[in-house]
């Protein structure tokens, strides 16, 4: 294996992708996205490739911790072109995985967040381990739960996806399976990729496919409180509940008000859609606009640069976000800009 950000090679009857950017928890950059896309396109019609296996290099704690957020912020502070190009390439990759005609097996062994979710959750087989840590934490940096979040999150049980998107709550190990994010669970993932490449999907026959959730005791409250039509309604419901719901309300009040409103509308809209590509077009519209806001720049500053975790959100209050402001992120783009996923 050469020292590159991702390796793509034929192994047995599989096309194997191994993320290899350990110092960044294998967070995606443009080079990684391009290499993955190129390999998947070659293997899609290859007669000697029966399945795809994606894992990460040994000795690191993350499967894939997200995307190149610093680049997005730097680009957004200028003309936003590099950010738009990255979104286009990343969302094409998400779409390719979602529509892939062969089994796509993701070993989510470690931190799986943001962009890492986009290259795993849309595959046909998703393997969680005791090391898996899943989250969509974008509301804490002023971004939004993209990479297909508008599609898969509202299709999780009850209002679980709304809770995950708005609060950035983390799921661990078997909880990822119980939520329906993973399809299988194994305590220890070492060696599984090699076995899959050698034996194919039969390697999954003995893996766990159901689990009890540690969040099960809160599902009734999640379904009740996160069923609100607006963020204000959700907060009002949380405020009148239990100590646990009050804690969730406190968490929401630390998040970007703009992101909260965008994410809720994104998931409500995505739930009604019947075409994955339509959802990705919506997310592209949001992403190319949101990275250019002062709000996103401030979130990245507070969390990733200065790390004071004290963002001064802009707008600072839910009341300051008018319907016109919110609508501006969802308005259609030109036909040329929408060709990023093939029309």
Catalytic site residue from 12, 62, 66, 67: 67
Pairing of β 62-64 and β 111-113: parallel
What string of H, E and C letters represents the secondary structure of 266-288?
A: HHHHHHHCCCHHHHHHHHHHHHH
Closest to 125 (Cα-Cα) out of 164, 182, 77:
182
**Is 328 tagged catalytic?**
no
Element (H, E) at 69: helix 69-76
The residue count of the chain comes to 343
SS3 label, residue 88: helix
**Is 271 tagged catalytic?**
no
Catalytic site residue from 68, 90, 138, 283: 138
Q: Identify the DSSP state of 338.
A: G
| Dihedrals phi, psi of 233, to nearest 5 degrees | -65, -40
Report d(CA 110, CA 147) in Å as an integer: 19
CB 298 within 8 A of CB 312: yes
Q: Rounded to a whole number, what is the largest CA-CA distance in the chain? A: 59
CB 231 within 8 A of CB 264: yes
Report d(CA 97, CA 325) in Å as an integer: 33
Closest to 295 (Cα-Cα) out of 312, 282, 309, 283:
312
Report d(CA 313, CA 112) in Å as an integer: 26
Report d(CA 223, CA 162) in Å as an integer: 9
Catalytic site residue from 55, 68, 90, 146: 146
**Is 115 tagged catalytic?**
yes
**Is 146 tagged catalytic?**
yes
The distance from CA 222 to its chain's CA centroid, rounded to whole angstroms, is: 20
In 99-216, where does DSSP find H-type helix?
115-118, 149-152, 160-167, 174-178, 192-199
Instruction: Give catalytic residues, as residue numbers.
Output: 67, 115, 138, 146
């Amino acid at each position: 294996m050469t020292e590159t950000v991702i390796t793509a090679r034929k192994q047995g009857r599989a096309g194997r992708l191994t993320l290899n950017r350990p110092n960044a928890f294998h967070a995606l950059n443009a080079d990684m996205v391009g290499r993955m896309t190129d390999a998947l396109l070659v293997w899609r019609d290859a007669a000697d490739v029966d399945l795809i296996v994606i894992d990460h290099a040994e000795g690191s704690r993350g499967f894939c911790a997200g995307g190149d957020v610093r680049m997005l912020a730097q680009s957004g502070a200028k003309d936003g072109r590099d950010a738009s190009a990255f979104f286009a390439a990343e969302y094409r990759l998400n779409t390719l995985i979602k529509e892939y005609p062969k089994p796509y097996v993701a070993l989510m062994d470690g931190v799986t967040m943001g962009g890492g979710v986009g290259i795993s959750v849309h595959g046909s087989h998703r393997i969680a381990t005791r090391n898996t840590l899943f989250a969509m934490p974008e509301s804490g940096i002023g971004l939004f739960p993209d990479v297909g979040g508008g599609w898969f999150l509202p299709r999780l049980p009850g209002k679980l996806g709304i809770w995950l998107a708005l609060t950035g709550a983390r799921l661990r190990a078997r909880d990822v399976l119980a939520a329906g994010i993973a399809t299988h669970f194994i305590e220890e993932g070492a060696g599984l990729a090699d076995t899959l490449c050698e034996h194919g999907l039969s390697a999954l026959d003995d893996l766990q496919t159901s689990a009890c959730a540690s969040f099960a005791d809160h599902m009734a409250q999640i379904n009740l409180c996160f069923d609100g039509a607006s963020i204000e309604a959700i907060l009002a419901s949380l405020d009148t509940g239990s100590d646990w719901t009050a804690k969730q309300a406190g968490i929401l009040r630390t998040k970007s008000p703009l992101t909260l409103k965008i994410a809720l509308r994104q998931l409500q809209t995505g739930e009604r859609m019947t075409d994955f590509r339509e959802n990705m077009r919506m997310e592209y519209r949001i992403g190319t606009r949101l990275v250019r806001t002062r709000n996103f720049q401030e979130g990245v500053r507070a969390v990733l640069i200065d790390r004071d975790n004290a963002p001064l959100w802009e707008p600072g209050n839910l009341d300051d976000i008018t319907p016109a402001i919110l609508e501006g992120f969802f308005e259609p783009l030109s036909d040329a800009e929408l060709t990023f996923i093939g029309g």
